[in-house]
Chain A
Amino acid sequence: MFGYIRPVQPELRVRELDLYRACYCGLCHTMGDRYGIASRFLLNYDFVFLAMLLWTGDMGTDICKKRCIGCPHKKKAFCKNTTALEKCAGMSVILYWWKIQDSIADEGFLKSGAYKILGFMLKRAYRKASADFPEYDAVVRDSITKLSALEKAKCASIDKTADCFAVILKAAAAAEDDPRRRRVLEQVLYHTGRWIYIVDACDDFAEDISSGAYNPVAERFGLHESPLPEDIKNQLKITLMSSRNQAGNSFELLEETAWSDIIRNIIFLGMPGVAEAVLTGIWKKKNRK
C-alpha cells in the first residue's frame, strides 16, 4: 500500500481531523503493541482508511492520551485497540512481508540484500500476524505470486493485474459476519484496491520507462516514451473514476458510523485530487520535497 488514500484535511471538520489523527496514532500503537517496534514503520494512510471502514460499534470513550516516540514532548490522543485496528495492524504486516519476499526474489544482489534485512526485522511480526490471520495470509501469498507471474509475463491488461491487488484488499472484509455488510465492503475495498494499483502504475510510469521495468500502463497502451499522451491520460481517468464511483456508491449502502464523513471526504475529495495530481505529475514533485 502506498499512501494514496488520504483525506483532504482543510475540508475536514476540526473534530473529524482529531478523530482521524487519533485513528492514525491508534493504529501505530496497536502495531507496536502487537507486532513490535519494527512494524510501526509500516504505518500508512491506506490502512487507516481500512481501519475506519472495518470499524464497528460506537467510538464512546475509546480515545486516550499518551506520549510516543514520534512526538515525545506532547501527549497525543489515540484510539484504543479495537478489532478493526488489530485486523489492520496484522494485515499490513502480512502484506508488507509478502511484498518484501517478492522483491527479494526479483531484485538484483544489492537491492535484494536490503530487502532481506527488512525481512529479517519483520520475521517475528509476520509469524505472529500470519498465525492471527491465516486465511488472509493465504490470500495475500497467492495474489502476490499471481501478480508477480503476470508482471513477468508482461501482462497487457491493467484490469487483470489490478485484479490481483484488488483481491488482496477485498479479502480484508472476508471475516465480516453480516453477509450484507460483507458484500458491500467487498465492493468498496475491491475498487479501492483497483484504484490504488492503477494510480501507482501511473505514478511509476516515467521511472519504469527509463529503467526498463514492467509497467502495466505502458504495456496496456504499448508506450515506450515518458510523458503520458493526453488521450491515454483521459482513458486512465475514466477507468479510475469508474472505480472511485463504484467505491463511493457502494459505501453509501453501509450504516452511518462516526467515521462516515471522514471516509466520504477521502472517497469524494481525496481520491480524485490524488488521481489528478498523479496524472499531472504534481504528486511526485510534492512528495519529494
Chain B
Amino acid sequence: MNDPYSVLGVSRNASDDEIKKAYRDLARKYHPDNYHDNPLADLAQEKMKEINEAYDAITRERSSSSGKGGGGTYQGSYSGGYSGSGSSSSSGGDLGRARNAINSGDIATAERILNSCSVRNAEWNYLMAMVYYRKGWYDESIRYCQTAVNMDPGNYEYRQALNNMTAGGQAYRPGGYYQGNQGQGCDMCDVCAALMCFNMCCGR
C-alpha cells in the first residue's frame, strides 16, 4: 500500500486536525454522490477506498502510540444509485434485462434491448433516460425522464432521477473556485448551502 500520508497529501508531522481536514476534503471530492450513474463511478470508489484505508491506517497508528481513540471514517450512505435501488416497478422480461445491463454498465446492450422493445411505458422511458444519461446525452435523457414522470407521476424513482438530472448532476467544486465574489474561506456548510440553493434554482 502507498504511504497513507502521501495518499492524504499531508506531511508525517501534520496535526490530527490537519489530517482530518485533508481527509474530509478528499472524501467530499470523491464522494459517491458526485459520481452517481457515472461511467467512472468505479474509479471514484477505488479512490474513496484508498483514502479511507489511509485515514484508518493513520488513526490506528496514532491512537496506538498515544492511546487516543480513532476518528472513524466516512462510511457513506450510498446505496448504488437509483438504477439499483427501488426497482419495484420493474416488470422483468426485456425491461428487467435492460435494467440489469444498465446497472452493470453495459450501455450498448441496454440500448439495443430497449430499441427492440414494443412497450413504450413509463419504465421504458425511464430506462432510455438512464441510457442517455450514461452516454452523456443529457438533453435527451431529461426529455425521456420527463416523459416517464408524466406517465407515472407517483413514481419516486423517476422523480428523483429527474431532479438529479435537472440539477446538472452532483458536482464537486474545489474551495476557492466560486463564480462571482463569494468569500474565499468557504467551509462544508457553505458548500452544502450553495448546492441546495443551486438545486432549488435549477430544479424548479
Could you tell me which A residues sit within 8 Å of B by CB distance?
Answer: 157-160, 163, 166, 180, 183-184, 187, 190-191, 194, 220, 234-235, 237-239, 241-246, 248-250, 252-253, 264-265, 268-269, 272-273
Contacts and interface: CB of A to CB of B under 8 A. Distances in A.
Contact of A191 (B136, B167, B177): B136
Contacts of A237: 202
Identify the interface centre among A160, A220, A252, A269: most chain B CB within 10 Å of its CB. A252
B5 interface: no
Interface stretch (B15-23, B34-42, B151-159): B34-42
Contact of A273 (B165, B170, B179): B179
Interface residues of B, number: 30
A159 B38 contact: no
Which of B35, B166, B168 counts the most chain A CB atoms within 10 A? B168
A220 B140 CA distance: 11
B171 interface: yes
The 7 A-B pairs of least Cβ separation, nearest first, read A159-B137, A241-B168, A268-B177, A245-B171, A242-B138, A242-B168, A239-B138
Given A238-B166, A265-B177, A183 B40 contact: yes
Interface of B: 29-30, 34-35, 38-40, 43-44, 47, 132, 136-140, 142, 165-174, 177, 179, 202
28 contacts: A157-B139, A158-B139, A166-B136, A183-B43, A191-B136, A234-B202, A238-B168, A239-B142, A241-B168, A241-B202, A242-B138, A243-B136, A244-B168, A245-B169, A245-B171, A246-B169, A248-B171, A248-B173, A249-B44, A249-B172, A252-B30, A252-B172, A253-B44, A264-B177, A268-B174, A268-B177, A272-B179, A273-B179
A213 B80 CA distance: 45
Which of A239, A244, A249, A265: most chain B CB closer than 10 A? A249
